[in-house]
Chain A
Amino acid sequence: MSIEVRNISKSFGKFQALKDVSLEVKSGELVAALGPSGCGKTTLLRIIAGLETPDSGSILFHGEDATQSSVSDRKVGFVFQHYALFRHMTVFENVAFGLRVKPRPQRPSNEVIRQKVTRLLELVQLEWLADRYPSQLSGGQRQRIALARALAVEPKVLLLDEPFGALDAKVRKDLRRWLRRLHDEIHVTSVFVTHDQDEALEVADHVVVMNHGQVEQFGAPEQVYEHPASPFVYNFLGNVNLFHGRIVGGNLQSGSLKVAAPDALAGEERAAIGYVRPYDLDVQRARTNGSTIEAIVQHIHPVGPVVRLELLRRDTQDSLEAELTKDQFRELALSVGEHVFVSPKNLHIFAADYAI
């Protein structure tokens, strides 16, 4: 079932959590809502589920307006950040809950419930925990039980609020890949909220990046990462170097650097900032053709397969971060204090009045 969010706004007192947010999730997709805490992503998820009512705007499920329908009518599976398992029920009863509270005519027999719960527990690979209580489970196990419980009622839409937020790094990684596989298996339209860009980029079909209650960008992970639509997205998804400068004569002038600006910005003289990923900085010992910046190597951090360099620009005294592969670094054979020449391979320019 597809989800359409149309012009949703929501305030809590004076705080505006969502400003005119629109979004479309196609049937069977796995979408990540990504943003810093307080950006409104959880509120958006709760509005889709019907746990909050929007001040304005509408929610459509499969093209039909569901803004006024109650939580239970929406047939939405919701997985809470802290799982919200019923602590006085066993794992089995937790998963069976949604089946047991069905109105009498639709309620399956005990035998059917038992089979279904067992199947779900097998799906999340925890059938051996059926008789335990939530307090006896680890975080990752609770998360999977919460998921099984939400799936028991065969929801048309699955919503997950920071599903891996409370887990440690190793479990997070395992569990998110497992979620991706599970999604490929059952194909239920899913939206999950996260503040971890790796999680969003690795797992989701599409990513919606949010900030200050607004959608900054919606797109496939590669697109969002490679072609950020705003400085915020640039900053939020990975590290970035900033080149503060001015647009003069169709070029961005930043210290000794001069790069052609896009036509949209080239018209008049104005302040602008260039954004470059650390691995898009070309570092050479000798001055090359074109525009380069002279810098001093301040620190060298070998991290796994890459080497990170902290550089100090000689023209503006700003620092830069460059990322080289082990091979590149070996070839250059740099050491701290040496002079290098840096040129950006891939630079995005945004007008400086665009606040981050």
Chain B
Amino acid sequence: MTVKEAAPRPQRPTITEPVWVRWLLTAIALAFLGVFLLLPLAVVFIEALSKGLGAYGKAVTEPDALAAVRLTVTAASISVFLNLVFGVAAAWAIAKYEFRGKSFLITLIDLPFAVSPVISGLIYVLLFGLQGLFGPWLNDHDIKIIFAVPGIVLATVFVTFPFVARELIPLMHEQGTEEEEAAVSLGASGFQTFFRVTLPNIKWGLLYGVILCNARAMGEFGAVSVVSGHIRGITNTMPLHVEVLYNEYNPAAAFAVASLLALLALVTLIAKTAVEWRTQRDRKELVEIQESLTP
């Protein structure tokens, strides 16, 4: 590839506002960000450490807190895995094939975004709770879903449903089906085509979807709160544990656990930025290829 020289910045003659207006607008935006995003984030860490490092360490390592971390990680990894498989399958079907009911499927995928998480939690209570549709049968067979780990996983899967699929559909759509057709015409099987051609082309978009999905899965409160039953050390995820501690007038411990979630958010942001940077580079390459094809 030829060495790319730094292109001169394009002139924007349309921006004619005086300097002070520009500064003012920038300042307002920064102040807003500071008050609504950075300040709360700082408060979380300040409050968490307000009783010293020892108290912080104790708060995050006590058995209930560790159980909450474990449950959160379990629920998140199961739902990320399930949504990864489902998301790729759904995006593949939607982007590469034409079939009846396609737009209905897309709408269905968006459903979790449209309903309040509390309602999605409630749906599972109404389905699997003791008074629910399958409640008596489950009770007879001694299967616990609501107020137990399976319920939490179900609620998390539902809420994080759209992330992977939504990320992949436009990407796969843009890439079209020609490469897959080429692979098949060269004798590749469906599996070979997927793992050797499709997957490498979508890997960054997929990773991006997984990161967002994971962040949401770990931070989910509403839906999980409804189905959890708040049994300390057993059905409390990290966000629920934070709430319990706070309601017990133990803000330092609550903020200590909250700071773990805040750290997760920061890591997510960094990972997201890194992946975004990669996908954009890939996408730019794709655009360059397409542009060079049209004489």
Do A153 and B285 touch across chains, with their CB atoms under 8 A apart? no
Please state if B181 and A80 are interface contacts (CB–CB under 8 Å).
yes
A110 at the binding interface (Cβ < 8 Å): no
CB of B188 within 8 Å of the partner chain: yes
Alpha-carbon distance A280/B200, docked complex (angstroms): 58
Chain A residue at minimum C-beta to C-beta distance from B293: A166
Q: How far is the CB of A246 from chain B (nearest CB, A)?
A: 46
A149 and B178 contacting across the interface, CB-CB below 8 Å: no
Q: How far is the CA of A86 from the CA of B182 in the complex (A)?
A: 9
What is the CA–CA distance of A76 and B237 in the complex, to the nearest angstrom? Answer: 56
Closest B-chain residue to A136, C-beta based? B1
By the criterion CB–CB under 8 Å, are A135 and B288 in contact?
Answer: yes
**Whole-angstrom distance between the Cβ of B195 and the nearest chain A Cβ:** 10
- In the bound complex, residues from chain A placing their C-beta under 8 Å from that of B247 are none
A135-B285, A166-B295 as given contacts; A71 in contact with B185, CB under 8 Å = yes
Determine whether A139 belongs to the interface, using a CB cutoff of 8 Å to chain B: yes
Interface residues of B in 181-203 (CB under 8 A from A): 181-189, 192, 196-197, 200-201
Pair A101/B201 contact, Cβ less than 8 Å: no
Q: Is A84 an interface residue (CB 8 A)?
A: yes
Give A25 Cβ to nearest chain B Cβ, in Å.
18
Q: Of A71, A77, A85, A88, which one neighbours B184 at CB under 8 angstroms?
A: A71
Query: Which of chain A's residues have a CB closer than 8 A to the CB of B295?
Result: 139, 166-168
A86 to B196, CA, bound (A): 9
Q: Taking the nearest CB of chain B, how far is it from the CB of A73, in angstroms?
A: 9
Establish whether residues A153 and B186, one from each chain, have CB atoms under 8 Å apart when the complex forms.
yes
Chain B residues in 8 Å Cβ range of A76: 185
12 contacts between A and B (CB under 8 A): A51-B184, A71-B181, A78-B182, A80-B181, A84-B182, A85-B182, A86-B196, A97-B186, A98-B187, A153-B186, A153-B187, A166-B293
9 nearest A-B residue pairs (beta carbon): A98-B186, A84-B178, A84-B182, A101-B188, A78-B185, A88-B200, A72-B187, A168-B295, A166-B293
Instruction: Decide if B3 is an interface residue (CB 8 Å cutoff).
Output: no
B53 within 8 A of A: no
Residues in chain B within 8 A of chain A (CB atoms) = 1, 178-179, 181-189, 192, 196-197, 200-201, 285-286, 288-290, 292-295
Contacts A88-B200, A97-B196 known; A51 to B185 CB distance under 8 Å?
Answer: yes
Q: In whole angstroms, what is the CA distance A150 to B184 when docked? A: 11
For residue A54, CB closer than 8 A to chain B, the reply is no
Given contacts A87-B286, A150-B186, 14 further A-B contacts (CB under 8 A): A49-B185, A51-B181, A71-B184, A72-B187, A72-B189, A80-B178, A82-B178, A84-B179, A86-B183, A86-B196, A88-B201, A101-B196, A139-B295, A166-B294
Contacts of A49 in B (CB 8 A): 185
Contacts of B290 on A, CB cut-off 8 Å?
82
A314 interfacial contact with B, CB 8 Å: no
Q: Residue on A with the closest CB to B289?
A: A135
In this complex, the member of A83, A88, A134, A136 whose beta carbon has the largest number of chain B beta carbons within 10 angstroms is A88
Contact for A101 among B179, B186, B288, CB less than 8 A = B186
- Chain B residue at minimum C-beta to C-beta distance from A12: B98
Interface string of A134-162 (1 = CB under 8 A from B): 11101100000000011011000000000
A153 to B183, CA, bound (A): 12
Closest to B286 in A: A87
**Cβ B293 vs Cβ A139 within 8 A:** yes
- A83 CA / B164 CA spacing, docked (Å): 29
Task: List CB contacts (< 8 Å) of A34-89 with chain B.
Answer: 49, 51, 71-72, 76-78, 80, 82-88
Most buried by A among B179, B187, B290: B187
Proximity bits, A299-329, B CB within 8 Å = 1, else 0:
0000000000000000000000000000000
Shortest beta-carbon distance, A163 to chain B, in Å?
13
Could you tell me if B189 and A86 are in contact, using CB atoms closer than 8 angstroms?
A: no
CB-nearest residue of chain A relative to B294? A166
Closest to B200 in A: A88
Q: Which residues of B contact A80 (CB under 8 A)?
A: 178, 181-182
A97 to B286, CA, bound (A): 21
B181 touches A87 (CB 8 A): no
Determine which of A85, A102, A134, A166 lies in contact with B187 in the assembled complex, contact meaning CB atoms within 8 Å: A102
Known interface pairs A84-B179, A84-B181, A167-B295; A149-B286 also in contact (CB < 8 Å): no
